[in-house]
């Protein structure tokens, strides 16, 4: 391909998960000219592995206090709800919503405190204790209080598809065998070349929104790779004649299991996380499935698990590094000269991360600039159940 004129841009984003795509939207709407480069497929990593719960902070207030995490996230359900209803940009009204609410329930019969928590700490997602007649079938035999919390559950692939459609002209696929090459220029703007040198971008800022890939990207331009931490999860999938259920089984301050439901090829699939997935990191898939079966049975005594197929998948979470190694309470956005690095910590926090990036950006100078139309475009990552190896427990 012949050499082209360098293309001036305000930003080049690396990584097309929820953080990169939401940031692209925020930048374009703020008048910046930006493109996004994806190495594999959009959302390949945490976004496609996620359970899609748009948390409003309730699970961070189970000890009765408004933690930093709860404060950071409490406005997110409203933002997402408005976007999903097409009342706010980005317009995500084309993305299916898996559930308008999550259920919260306990395994023991003590009166649950959760119904009071949300009101006490002033979260924006109301929590309603529900009468036994109004419970979903799966929770009819649960002995403790059952509450309904207005946290939506999205379909991550559906949201990725809508954002991809909105910005397809700005999305570029640069796979490992034909990668984008960053040239860090000391004291000046970095450059990004593609397809040999046939495409050259000269952005004001490079934005690393590559999840787990951020450490390597940072290292490649001389930034500290140790600003990232990785916390593993070993998630469980169950498939079969299961009831539709979205929610958390709470035990004291612990989220014992978190279950969300997806449909694929006529199957109902449960994605099971929470404490199971944290404990499961040191377990083999066989041991984890046996443990998950016991935990789900304890949490949902009324659900028949016979004939259910099971699978597991490992899913590392990439976050800004914390001295304690625990989950950061908020998004991490590092602005270092011509580089901005983002770890949103939660999918739900992507709008907040994007807003912080826009704030950290210099004024737009690039103008509308033309992005070549003959570059290859990334596809959308496949959900974990499409690659799973299923077996009975």
Ligand X SMILES: Cc1cc2nc3c(=O)[nH]c(=O)nc-3n(C[C@H](O)[C@H](O)[C@H](O)COP(=O)(O)OP(=O)(O)OC[C@H]3O[C@@H](n4cnc5c(N)ncnc54)[C@H](O)[C@@H]3O)c2cc1C
199 to 228: interface string for ligand X, x by CB under 6 A: ----------xxx-x---x-----------
In the beta sheet, which residues pair with residue 264? Answer: 267
Quote the least distance from Cβ 366 to ligand X, whole Å.
Answer: 20
Quote the least distance from Cβ 361 to ligand X, whole Å.
Answer: 18
Residue 23 in contact with ligand X, rule: CB under 6 A: no
CB 41 within 8 A of CB 380: yes
Helix (H, G, I), strand (E, B) or coil at 372: coil
Closer of 203 and 211 to ligand X (Cβ): 211
Dist. CA 302–CA 236, nearest whole Å: 20
| Among the listed residues 129, 144, 79, the one whose alpha carbon sits nearest the alpha carbon of residue 300 | 144
Which one of the spans 41-49, 84-92, 102-110, 182-190 is the region binding ligand X (CB under 6 A)?
41-49
Quote the least distance from Cβ 143 to ligand X, whole Å.
Answer: 26
Residue 385 in contact with ligand X, rule: CB under 6 A: no
Residue 92 in contact with ligand X, rule: CB under 6 A: no
Dist. CA 210–CA 216, nearest whole Å: 9
- Residues in contact with ligand X, counted by CB under 6 A, come to a total of 39
Residue 78 in contact with ligand X, rule: CB under 6 A: no
Exposure string over 212-250, b if 16+ CB within 10 A, otherwise e: bbbbebbeebebeeebbbeeebbbbbbbbebbbbbbbbb
Quote the least distance from Cβ 349 to ligand X, whole Å.
Answer: 7
Closer of 53 and 62 to ligand X (Cβ): 53
Rounding to the nearest 10 degrees, give the CA dihedral for residues 257, 263, 267, 271: -20
Residue 144 in contact with ligand X, rule: CB under 6 A: no
Phi first, then psi, for residue 318 (nearest 5°) are -100, 130
Residue 49 in contact with ligand X, rule: CB under 6 A: yes
Quote the least distance from Cβ 133 to ligand X, whole Å.
Answer: 29
Closer of 226 and 365 to ligand X (Cβ): 226
Peptide bond preceding 217 in cis form (omega within 30 of 0): no
**Footprint of ligand X (CB under 6 A):** 14-20, 37-40, 42-47, 49-53, 55, 209-211, 213, 217, 233, 235, 273, 315, 317, 343-348
């Amino acid at each position: 391909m012949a050499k082209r004129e360098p293309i001036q841009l305000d930003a080049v984003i690396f990584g097309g998960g929820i953080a990169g795509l939401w940031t692209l939207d925020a930048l374009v709407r703020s008048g910046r000219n930006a493109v996004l480069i994806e190495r594999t497929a959009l959302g390949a990593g945490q976004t496609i592995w996620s359970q899609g719960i748009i948390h409003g902070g309730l699970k961070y207030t189970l000890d009765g206090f408004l933690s930093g995490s709860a404060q950071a996230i409490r406005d997110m359900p409203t933002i997402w709800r408005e976007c999903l209803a097409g009342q706010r940009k980005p317009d995500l009204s084309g993305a299916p919503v898996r559930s308008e609410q999550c259920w919260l329930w306990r395994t023991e019969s003590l009166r649950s405190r959760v119904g009071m928590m949300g009101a006490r700490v002033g979260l924006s997602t109301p929590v309603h204790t529900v009468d036994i007649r109004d419970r979903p079938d799966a929770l009819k035999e649960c002995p403790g209080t059952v509450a309904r919390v207005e946290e939506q559950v999205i379909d991550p692939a559906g949201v990725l598809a809508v954002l991809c459609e909105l910005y397809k002209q700005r999305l570029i696929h640069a796979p490992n065998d034909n990668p984008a090459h960053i040239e860090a220029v000391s004291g000046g703007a970095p450059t990004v070349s593609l397809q040999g040198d046939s495409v050259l971008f000269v952005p004001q800022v490079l934005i690393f929104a590559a999840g787990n890939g951020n450490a390597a990207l940072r290292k490649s331009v001389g930034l500290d790779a140790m600003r990232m931490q990785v916390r593993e999860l070993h998630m469980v999938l169950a498939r079969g004649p299961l009831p539709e259920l979205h929610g958390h089984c709470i035990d004291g301050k612990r989220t014992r299991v978190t279950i969300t439901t997806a449909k694929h090829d006529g199957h109902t699939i449960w994605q099971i996380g929470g404490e199971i997935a944290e404990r499961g990191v040191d377990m083999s898939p066989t041991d984890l499935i046996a443990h998950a079966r016991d935990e789900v049975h304890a949490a949902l005594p009324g659900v028949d698990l016979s004939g259910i197929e099971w699978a597991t998948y490992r899913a590392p979470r990439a976050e800004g590094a914390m001295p304690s190694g625990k989950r950061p309470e908020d998004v991490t956005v590092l602005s270092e000269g011509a580089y901005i690095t983002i770890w949103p910590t939660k999918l739900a926090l992507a709008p907040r991360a994007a807003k912080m990036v826009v704030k950290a950006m210099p004024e737009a100078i690039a103008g509308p600039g033309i992005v070549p139309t003959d570059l290859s475009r990334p596809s959308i990552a496949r959900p974990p159940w499409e690659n799973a190896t299923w077996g009975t427990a």
